[in-house]
A and B are shown apart, each in its own frame.
Chain A
Amino acid sequence: MADLTLAGLTKRYGEVTVLSGIDLEIRAGELIVFVGPSGCGKSTLLRMIAGLERISSGDLIIDGLRVNDMPPAQRGIAMVFQSYALYPHMTVRQNMEFALKIAKKPRAEITAAVEKAARILQLTPYLDRLPKALSGGQRQRVAIGRAIVRDPKVYLFDEPLSNLDAALRVATRIEIAQLKEAMPGRTMIYVTHDQVEAMTLASRIVVLANGGIAQVGTPLALYERPESEFVAQFIGSPQMNLLAGKVVETGARTRVQLEAGGTACSTVPTAPADLGLAVNIGVRPEDLTLTEGPGLFTGTVEIVEALGEVTLLYFGRAPGAGQIIAKLPGGHADLRHARVTLTTAPEKVHLFHAGQSLLYR
């Protein structure tokens, strides 16, 4: 059981500030995922929690105890590295034993812990092998096993699936989810740049960008109510469509005249003073449908990707918009080069301050 409090955590390398003022409360038993584009500082934040990076300023509190200056091994954490970081000269068993041996645990206890972890991770037949004789997936399981035997209060995962191939990644992801199920009291912090991992594993996601937290919330909250254009486009695949326009009607329902030609109606309420305001509307590709009548957007389909369960339509760039993508359920007749009109339900239309990237409400 461990609650973590990050209070104003800041990391500076000389003049460069990598992370500034990170505030976050993590409750015991949560699986928190740090997600963000490369260079956003998510791994640095994890390494600060682990104790591998010094904290420039701010407080890191685990279970009410400030641990800024506590050696990593005493913080009650274990970490799984992207590169597995197995000790190449030790067998699987020795790898898993190492921390317990260092801690001078009794022999019987060590053996029991290692064999239990090996059973959970199906590593029993490989206990006497060296890491080089294992596949990538097995190596990563050993790395997880090395964390399990220590029975830490907090598990840290640093992009643990990035070095695995696609099929193995899905399988190992599910194993990690099962591991979490089996240990409901343990806190886990997981760093990834893969939003599918974030969405499937997290109890809450922390989106990091530009050295700060962009948004914190449950996966569905981030998906349904992104608070900025950045989060809106980072969560969801393909990313959310953004179209620029002007507010032409305010009230409980807001109408926006789009630069690309169509009009959008949103259930986001606006005040009379907002009339004429420049906004960006955001619509997820999967919320778009084809329509015969007037709609949000009319354009020519450039590329069709028929995936069976869904069909992706790619349109060319329209004025005041990036590439527009629609994701339609099921198969469709060949729509390539067809001119079609898209529409959506008003409650699916997000409004953002143009440029400021803030949710307009």
Chain B
Amino acid sequence: MEALILAGGTILAGVFACTAWFWGANLALDLICPARGPQAGRNILRANMVRPWLFIGPAVLFLGLYLVYPVLKSTLMSFQDASGARFVGLANYRWLAGDAKFREAILNNFLWLLVVPATATFIGLVAAQITDRIRWGKFAKSMIFMPMAISFVGAGVIWKFIYDFRAEGLAQIGLLNAFWVWLGHSPQTWLTLPFWNNFLLMAVLIWIQTGFAMVILSAALRGIPEETVEAAILDGANPWQLFFRIKVPQIWGTIAVVWTTITITVLKVFDIVFVMTNGEWGTQVLANMMYNWMFRGAPDYGRGSAIALVIMALVTPMMIWNIRAARRETG
């Protein structure tokens, strides 16, 4: 209850402060440079030069404080020792190159990269096509989209229950084990099965991202000129050819944007792994490894920062390509 009041109060105060700033600063500017009197023309020009800065000023300030500064500081820290006391050159990166856990994390991230964007985009595409055709498509769509509203942590907790294990003979509360036992097998501790547990974690992200892919691709599919589809029907294309040879190529740009957007999410995947396995049993990923080094046990800011920069280096090219492609799409 206290937390709710605090949260509500913070939101109110924030909104009030923002309004006060924009309204007050604007008013102050008009008082300093009034659009009247002998200097009216010059005042209007000056005010117009200052005004944009008043409005974007806070955003620039906070972006700088919370985005640019951390990048610079992390870069610096990645060349320093555990406590940031002295420079160690490339020692942290040399350590990364030789660390088995880091290799595992890179490999797992690569596996995630191969599986999640492709699967989520493909299922999303098929769902978009099918839900546009069936009578209860709207309902299906909202059900598929729903997981988007759940936080990754929440989703992780939900799926942890699905994969839950109870000793043989006890009632299985985990959906997967309940089904598995019903099939006549003995219950499994799913999340500790090396290699395969990675895919069980990926299922969570696919479950979340499919809705996103479906919504965007559904809009793109509707944007396809109906005549090209009709022309293809007259040309004798069957539904399969219609979809893969006429429709999909026409929305290829959107598919690429969806794909790369999910790819970026995947590169940063943290919460799901953190909540469900914390990187144990061979499920480590870069972001979770960074968190462990940075904030757990005896923190090593140097190594943590080095991992952070590796993640950034992987994400940045994707990001640039994604933004460019999105701009091309919207013309």
Contact = CB atoms under 8 A, between A and B. Distances in A.
Interface string A29-73: 000000000000000000000111000000000000000000111
B128 to A, nearest CB: 18
Interface residues of B, number: 17
Given A81-B227, A85-B227, A89-B252, A52 B233 contact: yes
A98 B233 contact: no
A198 interface: no
Interface residues of A, number: 26
Interface string A70-90: 011110011101111111111
Interface string B201-238: 00000000000000000000000010110111111110
A85 B231 contact: yes
A99 interface: yes
A79 B236 contact: no
Contacts of A166: none
B246 interface: yes
B240 to A, nearest CB: 11
Contacts, number: 61
B250 interface: yes
Contact of B235 (A52, A82, A98): A98
Nearest to A104: B236
B58 interface: no
Contacts of B225: 83, 85
Contact of A73 (B227, B236, B246, B252): B236
Contacts of A52: 230, 233-234
Contacts of B233: 51-52, 72-73
A182 interface: no
**Chain B contact residues: over half helix, strand or loop, or mixed?**
helix
A197 B221 CA distance: 35
A85 B228 contact: yes
Given A52-B230, A81-B231, A83-B227, A88 B250 contact: yes
Nearest to B231: A85
B232 A98 contact: yes
Contacts of A71: 236
A89 B234 contact: no
A333 interface: no
Given A73-B235, A102-B237, A102-B241, A86 B230 contact: no
A146 to B, nearest CB: 8
B249 A89 contact: yes
B236 A102 contact: yes
A64 to B, nearest CB: 22
Interface string B245-256: 110011010000
B98 to A, nearest CB: 48
Nearest to A147: B234
A99 B227 contact: no
Contacts of B249: 87, 89-90
Given A85-B225, A103-B236, A79 B231 contact: yes
Contact of A79 (B234, B237, B245): B234
Contact of A86 (B228, B234, B241, B252): B228
A83 B235 CA distance: 16
B250 A81 contact: no
Interface of B: 225, 227-228, 230-237, 241, 245-246, 249-250, 252
21 contacts: A51-B233, A72-B233, A78-B234, A79-B231, A81-B227, A81-B231, A83-B225, A83-B227, A85-B227, A86-B231, A87-B232, A87-B246, A87-B250, A88-B250, A89-B250, A90-B249, A98-B232, A98-B237, A98-B245, A99-B235, A146-B235
Interface of A: 50-52, 71-74, 77-79, 81-90, 98-99, 102-103, 146, 150
Ranked nearest first, the 3 interchain pairs of A and B with the lowest CB-CB distance are A73-B236, A85-B227, A99-B235
Given A83-B227, A88-B250, 6 more contacts: A50-B234, A79-B230, A84-B227, A85-B230, A99-B235, A102-B237
